[in-house]
Chain A
Amino acid sequence: MNLTHKTLYFIMPIIIAPILVIGSVAFYKLNKLGETSLTSQATTVISQISDTLHNNIANAEANLKLLAEHQIVKQYALTTDASLKYQLLLPHLLDTFKGLQNSIQHYYEIRFILPDGFEDAHWSGNILNISDSIANEPYYNDLMTSTSRLSRYFFVDKNTDKPAIGIFYPISLSDPAVDDVNIEPVFRGFLGITISLDSLSQQINEYRLGKTGFLAISDKDYSIIISPYPDLNNDLTTQVGPYARVTQKDIIDNVHTSSGMATVFTRPLPAGMHILAILPESEITNSSYQLSKIIFIITLLVLSIATIIIYKSIRHIILTPVETLNTATKSIGLGEHVEDLDIQREDELGDLAKTITEMNDNLKRSHDKVSYIANHDSLTGLPNRSLFQSYLSKILSIAKQKDGKVALLFIDLDDFKNINDTLGHNAGDLLLCEFSTLLTHIVRKNIYTDFRHYDTASDLVARLGGDEFIVLLHDVEGPWEASAVSERIIRSLKEPFDLLDNQVYVGCSIGIAIYPDDASSPGDMIQFSDIAMYHAKNLGKNHYQFYSKQLNQDLQERLQINNRLRVALDNDAFTLVYQPKINLITGYITGLEALIRWTDDVLGQVSPAVFIPIAEESGLITPLTEWILSKACEQNKAWINMGIKVVPVSVNVSSIQFRRRDLLSMVNRAIKEHDYDPALIQIELTETSLLDSTQEAIEIIDGLSRSGISIALDDFGTGYSSLAYLNTLPINTLKIDKSFVSRITSSNESYPIIDAILALAGALRLDVVAEGVENEEQLVYLKKHGCQTVQGFYLSRPLPADQLQHCLENSYASLTSRHA
């Protein structure tokens, strides 16, 4: 048995007992009241009817007396000459009667009756007078005995067949023209008014006491003359009549009628009539039965309503809160968060609810804190990768439902590593913070930064780690929106950051992937935007790049190549080939250009033109360059040791590698390792390597030169460098780019660029090497115009070391024999 049922068992008796007592008392009192009310209603109505009728009769009598005083009436009564009377007076008398009837409608018959009962003058409107005489009427004899006073009789009018009351006033006159003054007035006849009882009959027929009680009118013998129930008339006549006559009481109890016991109330009416109110016992019984039924229903109703209200109240006050608290406590126990404990009360349960709520809130706060830490980057406060990923999944599923587009901007700061390295980690952290602030300001207003207000209508800025940031634009119209945001980001970076008193310009590269155009899964979205970012970075600083499939393919290839490069470096899968530089005058090999070759187990032969840029990007260029230097030194050293006369070998250093500034140490390391003569090594730099950081370049080149290493300027004439450095830098050799050489088609024509370069080199006392010589004409032209050294397929393709060894041993012979 639970608390609810216990409460009900306890409450029910408390409610039922008083209501039953009240119900019983109410029944008793109301029943009494009902009986009294019926009785008083009966006596009141018969008294009223009695009074009204008495008044009517009294008025009629007064009117009758007035009429009797009217001149025409007197004249008529006195006139004995029938001819005179009827011809001259009767019309006027009838007019007078008619006038009275017009003003009082229920005086429906007015007449002058001669002593013999003849109705001499009779007015009854349209009611036809059946008989001219009242001599046969039951009241006639009585009337004739009362010629000195006013009489009234109740009778049923033969003309209308309806009950009526007749009032008769005797006219006694002496004729002044004939009679002596002393003679007694002679009785001339009666003036009569007949009063209709129609309205009384109607009232009797319609009026009811309660439902079955009714009224009736009896004559002086208590014979019922008007009653709504003609069948009852005999009952009443035989029952009430004798009793009333004997007792003279106006309330007669226990009258037996064919329809049961009744109480009869009586009042006298004019003309000896009586009005009766018949109130059957059953009426009182019925009404008390009805009453008890109503009280029973009300009691039942009150009982159920009270029970429901009290039960509801108890539920509301105790049970429901207890249940709520119980559920809440269980939930909290299970580690769920209870959203809102809706118990606002000033009692013990309220306190308990408050305590539980506080406990719940504390738990929630700790939980929130943990969640926050887990989901946010501690440095910038931005959502971290994990939150970003879940958010991204959510956003994408919504976009899928809505057919919307989502743009993912993958942002990577350029040169962040440099700043970290040069200005320290504090400056780096500061930069990340400022950049994140910048991003949140730039991105559209609805920005999501706090997972507690997790809202899929927000854009998101997140930090993935390091200098990688994400901007997620949900529900974009198209790529242009992402472009706009990207451009805003890039433009904002035109201003320098103020990092610990250092003004720093930072760029960024942005890769953009669009859902669903580019990718459909969160993973792909991140990866593809990363790829696009990577390509943007390749385009130089401050670029943004939309992802495309081509980008991905390229990237895959490059990644593979890069991976294989690492393997190749570990497995020593590279070889060096050497292209001889030939002195056109002596025919000797005066130098070698070491060129790297790579045959991969998987990829086969890979052109340096392909893998060198990849190695440059991935930084593998450094070990690769180191390897080339080392290998070239080692080979030459080996030849020296074999007693073979060696020539300087040149190694290409890319502008990327050159910019790394560890070139000098790297070269020195190789020389040292192989105990190698620095004069036998030449570094070939491209003209573009010198373009940017001139001061640094000068320092490196000076360092190299001081170590005894000669410098060649590769691809000369293709860059846009100032020629000034030729004066300032310790450059030994200019290499004419093969594009110029390939233009030579005839030895007899003039090629002014080559001429100019040769003239320039001559003037500056620099060696010149023409690259890419592929035919006789080119060779002849170059020789004719004073170019001492050439290299190219026409003379010798790059050769592996063992083949070259032979050439070195017989260099002159072999080469000359070829040109003989």
Chain B
Amino acid sequence: MQTLTHTFRYLFGIIFIALISLPTCAQASDHKLVILTWSEYLSEDLIRQFEQQFSAELHFVYFESDDHRDQIINQTGGKGIDLILVNGTNLDLYVRRKLIKPVPWELLPNARHINDSWRDAFSASSTYAVPYFWGTLGIAYRSDLVSKPFTSWKQLFDPAPELHGKTLIVNNSRDIIGMALKSLGYSANSEDTKELNQIMSLPLLSNPALAQFGYITLDADSSLVKGDIIATIAYGGDALNVAEHDDRIRYVIPDEGGNIWVDYFALAANTNNTRLAMQFLNFINQPENAAINAEAMYLATANTGAHQFLPEAILKDPVIYPDTSLLEKSELYRPLSPQAYRTRATLFSRISR
């Protein structure tokens, strides 16, 4: 099934890109921008404003996971896409595969509002990528259905009986293996084969009956709201979204710390819409716009200039802006050695279904 779904996704991506590529060749591409990104990851208001202001059309190709995005890129070589939303970890790979090109920073005056630490977070980020949102990875759980609040990754990977079969594992090898490593006290970026092999001894990963695979939906029908799932690895923003439907849902960054992710927009290597793309990036990084976007998305924006326009509720929200000590224990996913990737791929193929 998994294979089939993937295949379907490839096909979908290829056909879509083929369709949108065709007119690109025929007419002036100045007014049309194709963006590969998560769904609902940009304020609708901003989209409308931009399209009016620049007489442009924004087309979006959505991916459902990092793997999915990679697959779309693999199949098409990135042709027909102007802007790609890439997480910091993958930037290096995209640079190496020549899928993205350097950002002409001179076309992005509003870059000055962006926090430097996010611009420099990854080796390739300062050259190739414009920081967008950042956030954390932790545990979302139903406080009413657990006997003890979550404070550690161990509680997730060695679940109490009440959690058996009701713990969700996300289908992402970096997250699963990374957090499993953290639960064992190792770095989420460990390349040590011994340390990596140890994760297979964690009950949640070695016993298929204990876990479910996938990702929670964020609506009122979410399995977390219904109680079919009691705990899951989740992004802080997602946790906030789903918690709006049920205030018994809690989000926590465990004591070991979690992962800090940063999303970047990068210019597709083959784009010939660099100007419009840069106009778009500049537009969304205007502090007021960035604030509108952050408020709409309920996420921590990389645009520090936007803070002055944001309400206290967002700025003081511990989920969006967690305690500094927890952030210090948390890690960015660093690029790894090929052998480490090989080991992790083999391990993950055994974990996932």
Chain A residues, CB < 8 A from B74: 75, 88-89
Most buried by A among B3, B70, B96, B335: B3
Min CB distance B211 to A, Å, is 15
Stretch at the interface among A118-126, A247-255, A285-293, A713-721: A118-126
A94 touches B349 (CB 8 A): yes
B93 touches A90 (CB 8 A): no
A90 touches B341 (CB 8 A): yes
Chain A residues, CB < 8 A from B345: 86-87, 90-91, 94
Chain A residues, CB < 8 A from B335: 83
Min CB distance A105 to B, Å, is 15
A122 touches B346 (CB 8 A): yes
A83 touches B2 (CB 8 A): no
Chain A residues, CB < 8 A from B336: 87
B339 touches A86 (CB 8 A): yes
B96 touches A96 (CB 8 A): no
With A83-B341, A86-B339 known as contacts, the answer to whether A98 contacts B349 (CB < 8 A) is yes
With A84-B93, A88-B93 known as contacts, the answer to whether A96 contacts B338 (CB < 8 A) is no
Min CB distance A209 to B, Å, is 42
A84 touches B96 (CB 8 A): yes
B342 touches A90 (CB 8 A): yes
A87 touches B338 (CB 8 A): yes
Min CB distance A103 to B, Å, is 10
B342 touches A86 (CB 8 A): yes
Min CB distance A120 to B, Å, is 8
Min CB distance A412 to B, Å, is 114
B6 at the interface (CB under 8 A from A): yes
A246 at the interface (CB under 8 A from B): no
State in angstroms the CA–CA spacing of A92 and B65 once bound together. 14
Chain B residues, CB < 8 A from A465: none
State in angstroms the CA–CA spacing of A769 and B6 once bound together. 165
Chain B residues, CB < 8 A from A92: 6, 71
Which residue in A75, A90, A96, A126 is a CB contact (below 8 Å) of B350? A126
Interface string of A54-93 (1 = CB under 8 A from B): 0000000000000000000001000001111111111110
State in angstroms the CA–CA spacing of A218 and B16 once bound together. 57
A86 touches B341 (CB 8 A): yes
Chain B residues, CB < 8 A from A85: 338
A99 touches B3 (CB 8 A): yes
Interface string of A107-138 (1 = CB under 8 A from B): 00000000000001011011000000000000
Which residue in A86, A95, A125 is a CB contact (below 8 Å) of B6? A95
State in angstroms the CA–CA spacing of A729 and B67 once bound together. 166
B173 at the interface (CB under 8 A from A): yes
Interface string of B283-298 (1 = CB under 8 A from A): 0000000000000000
With A83-B96, A84-B97 known as contacts, the answer to whether A95 contacts B338 (CB < 8 A) is no
A-B contact count (CB 8 A): 60
State in angstroms the CA–CA spacing of A87 and B336 once bound together. 9
Which residue in B67, B97, B337, B338 is a CB contact (below 8 Å) of A91? B67
A96 touches B3 (CB 8 A): yes
A83 touches B93 (CB 8 A): yes
Chain B residues, CB < 8 A from A75: 74
Please, which residue of chain B has its CB at the minimum distance from the CB of A87? B341
State in angstroms the CA–CA spacing of A545 and B350 once bound together. 122
Min CB distance A271 to B, Å, is 28
B105 at the interface (CB under 8 A from A): no
B70 touches A95 (CB 8 A): no
A91 touches B93 (CB 8 A): no
With A90-B342, A122-B346 known as contacts, the answer to whether A81 contacts B96 (CB < 8 A) is yes
Main SS class of interface, B: helix
State in angstroms the CA–CA spacing of A85 and B338 once bound together. 8
Please, which residue of chain B has its CB at the minimum distance from the CB of A125? B350
Interface residues on A, range: 20 to 34
Min CB distance B193 to A, Å, is 11
Interface residues of B in 44-89 (CB under 8 A from A): 67, 70-71, 74
State in angstroms the CA–CA spacing of A82 and B342 once bound together. 9
B93 touches A87 (CB 8 A): yes
Please, which residue of chain B has its CB at the minimum distance from the CB of A103? B3
A86 touches B349 (CB 8 A): no
Min CB distance B202 to A, Å, is 15
B70 touches A88 (CB 8 A): yes
Chain B residues, CB < 8 A from A81: 96
State in angstroms the CA–CA spacing of A95 and B3 once bound together. 6
B70 touches A82 (CB 8 A): no
A95 touches B93 (CB 8 A): no
Please, which residue of chain B has its CB at the minimum distance from the CB of A95? B3
State in angstroms the CA–CA spacing of A125 and B350 once bound together. 6
State in angstroms the CA–CA spacing of A81 and B97 once bound together. 9
Chain B residues, CB < 8 A from A83: 93, 96, 335, 337-338, 341
Chain A residues, CB < 8 A from B67: 91
Min CB distance A119 to B, Å, is 10
B348 at the interface (CB under 8 A from A): yes
B348 touches A91 (CB 8 A): yes
Min CB distance B218 to A, Å, is 26
Min CB distance B224 to A, Å, is 27
Interface residues of B in 1-38 (CB under 8 A from A): 2-3, 6
Please, which residue of chain A has its CB at the minimum distance from the CB of B3? A99
Interface string of B96-123 (1 = CB under 8 A from A): 1100000000000000000000000000
State in angstroms the CA–CA spacing of A97 and B341 once bound together. 18
Chain A residues, CB < 8 A from B348: 91
Chain A residues, CB < 8 A from B337: 83
Interface residues of A in 279-323 (CB under 8 A from B): none
B338 touches A86 (CB 8 A): yes
Chain B residues, CB < 8 A from A91: 67, 173, 345, 348-349
Chain A residues, CB < 8 A from B350: 125-126
Most buried by B among A81, A85, A92, A120: A92
Please, which residue of chain B has its CB at the minimum distance from the CB of A96? B3
Chain B residues, CB < 8 A from A99: 2-3
Chain B residues, CB < 8 A from A94: 345-346, 349
Chain A residues, CB < 8 A from B70: 88
Interface residues of B in 302-353 (CB under 8 A from A): 335-339, 341-342, 345-346, 348-350
Min CB distance B213 to A, Å, is 13
State in angstroms the CA–CA spacing of A228 and B315 once bound together. 74
Min CB distance B65 to A, Å, is 11
State in angstroms the CA–CA spacing of A98 and B350 once bound together. 9
Chain B residues, CB < 8 A from A95: 2-3, 6, 349
Min CB distance A703 to B, Å, is 145
State in angstroms the CA–CA spacing of A122 and B70 once bound together. 22
Chain A residues, CB < 8 A from B339: 82, 86
Min CB distance B274 to A, Å, is 25
Min CB distance B46 to A, Å, is 32
State in angstroms the CA–CA spacing of A43 and B112 once bound together. 86
State in angstroms the CA–CA spacing of A89 and B97 once bound together. 13
Chain A residues, CB < 8 A from B6: 92, 95
Please, which residue of chain B has its CB at the minimum distance from the CB of A85? B338
State in angstroms the CA–CA spacing of A633 and B345 once bound together. 172
State in angstroms the CA–CA spacing of A125 and B348 once bound together. 11
Please, which residue of chain B has its CB at the minimum distance from the CB of A93? B345
With A88-B70, A96-B3 known as contacts, the answer to whether A123 contacts B93 (CB < 8 A) is no
Most buried by B among A90, A96, A120, A125: A90
B3 touches A123 (CB 8 A): no
Chain A residues, CB < 8 A from B3: 95-96, 98-99
State in angstroms the CA–CA spacing of A75 and B346 once bound together. 18
B338 touches A82 (CB 8 A): yes
Min CB distance A107 to B, Å, is 15
State in angstroms the CA–CA spacing of A126 and B71 once bound together. 26
Closest 4 pairs between A and B when the two form their complex, measured CB to CB: A82-B338, A94-B349, A86-B341, A99-B3
A84-B97, A98-B349 known; 8 other A-B pairs, CB under 8 Å?
A84-B93, A88-B74, A88-B97, A90-B345, A94-B345, A95-B2, A99-B2, A123-B349
B residues in contact (CB < 8 Å) with A:
2-3, 6, 67, 70-71, 74, 93, 96-97, 173, 335-339, 341-342, 345-346, 348-350
User: Please, could you name 6 A-B residue pairs with CB atoms under 8 Å apart, sorted by A?
Assistant: A86-B338, A87-B336, A88-B93, A90-B346, A94-B349, A120-B342
